[in-house]
Structure 1
Amino acid sequence: MNQAAPVLNSHDYGEVLESGAVRFTRLLPGPMERVWRYITEPELRARWLAGGPMELRLGGKVALEFWNGTLSSEPDPTPAEYCGCDGATLLGRITQLEPPRLLAFTWGEDGSEAGQPVSEVTFELTEQAGGKVRLVLTHRRLTTELMQNVGPGWHTHLDTLVLAAEGRRIAGFWQRFLDLKAYYAARIR
């Protein structure tokens, strides 16, 4: 039985900027250097997105090693249609780097998204009042088909980042992803 999707503010959902681009915004506990570490250090990144090495220099290699089934605090079986995702490695290269406020890298240079063009992910961090950090993630050069998975994927991963950064329990990664997939599929055509 599906659990109800979490009640979120409208700004929590990804915003389609243009054809093939989606943007997400989240507010995280600071300081900015701490959030930067969650994005760039494999051990911290593995808590909400994917582990794997990242060479922090322009042109540096990125290898994101996904184990989404391990992101939840409790057992969270991977749905059959996504079993190939756990253990998958996605390759890219750093295209923009201004620590600790800007990181961009290509997504899928290894052809892991068969038939899909190489896309680009950008993380922008800005300090906010009250010790908070505003994270804006933009993913560009996506096909409509890929965007229908990227939308709920980033949404779920970023919600997981917020929980991890706040030291809260993470429950039901895959269930949240599936609940959000229907929302994004209906809005991204």
Structure 2
Amino acid sequence: MNANARPIEDAYATFSDTDTVRLQRTLPGPIERVWEHLTDASLRRQWLAGGDDVQPRAGTSFELVWRNDQLTDPPGARPEGFGDEHRMQSRVIECDPPHRLAFTWDGDSDVAIDLEPRGDEVLLTLVHRHLGNRNRVLMHSAGWHVHLDLLVDRASGRQPEPFWDGWAVAKAAYDARLPA
């Protein structure tokens, strides 16, 4: 990684209990632009996962489709255990455009993303709850960390680092930070 590469200390997730991850990032505004990166599948696929657009009302379903090898060029070295594509059905739990989006995750956990305008910038706060065990906390912390860094890079017009290389660095850092 180069000298400007993440993860940086203040970008790490915090853990409010044994199975909840909280991350924050500051993005260039306006808030409506950041909201579109969450809900528009063509924009979301540039930093997280494509699939379906998110309809802005509770109870609606959408699919997320990950193709992490396509997020950056080059993608970096994909770790063992990851395939070319992963699909997941989600359901909107709460939606208050353009401030809050909460949805189910993998059938047994949930994600809430809050956006708060801060002048010309937007503070994004992501909370992923009910992860269940240390390994899931570790994997999701590293994943969210790098995906959100990618969102910041894309929204800021910067060339991102190779996705998988960043994920490997973040995973090692979280492994050292999480209690055994």
State yes or no: 1:135 paired with 2:134.
no
Show the counterpart of 2:97.
99
Q: How does 1:6-17 map to 2 (within 5 A)?
A: 6-17=5-16
> How far apart in 2 are the matches of 1:132 and 1:180?
25
Question: What amino acid maps onto 1:160 in structure 2?
Answer: L
> How far apart in 2 are the matches of 1:21 and 1:151?
9
Summarize deviations over 1:73-110 as a string: whole Å, max 9, x none. Answer: x22255241432x311011111110000000001002x
Show the counterpart of 1:35.
34
Question: What amino acid maps onto 1:90 in structure 2?
Answer: M
Q: Is the 8 A contact 2:79 2:164 kept in 1?
A: no
Show the counterpart of 2:162.
172
> How far apart in 2 are the matches of 1:135 and 1:180?
19
Show the counterpart of 2:115.
125
Aligned CA distance change for structure 1 residues 80 and 177 (closer, same or farther; 3 Å):
closer
TM-score by length of 1: 0.87
Show the counterpart of 2:23.
24
Q: How does 1:58-137 map to 2 (within 5 A)?
A: 58-72=58-72, 74-84=73-83, 86-109=84-107, 118-129=108-119, 131-137=120-126
TM-score by length of 2: 0.92
> How far apart in 1 are the matches of 2:165 and 2:176?
18
> How far apart in 2 are the matches of 1:48 and 1:7?
15
Please list every run of at least 4 consecutive aligned residues from structure 1 whose deviation after the TM superposition is greater than 3 angstroms: none
> How far apart in 1 are the matches of 2:80 and 2:56?
33
**Pairwise CA RMSD:** 1.6
> How far apart in 2 are the matches of 1:7 and 1:89?
27
Aligned CA distance change for structure 1 residues 28 and 20 (closer, same or farther; 3 Å):
same
Question: What amino acid maps onto 2:144 in structure 1?
Answer: W
CA shift for structure 1 position 10 = 2.4
> How far apart in 2 are the matches of 1:49 and 1:150?
12
Q: Is the 8 A contact 1:71 1:170 kept in 2?
A: no
Q: Is the 8 A contact 1:69 1:78 kept in 2?
A: no
Counterpart selection for 1:146 from 136, 143, 153: 136
SS of 2:80 mapped into structure 1: helix
Aligned residues between the structures? 176
> How far apart in 1 are the matches of 2:33 and 2:124?
12
CA shift for structure 1 position 174 = 0.3
> How far apart in 2 are the matches of 1:167 and 1:44?
13
CA shift for structure 1 position 124 = 0.2
- Give unpaired runs (5+ residues) of structure 2: none
Question: What amino acid maps onto 1:100 in structure 2?
Answer: P
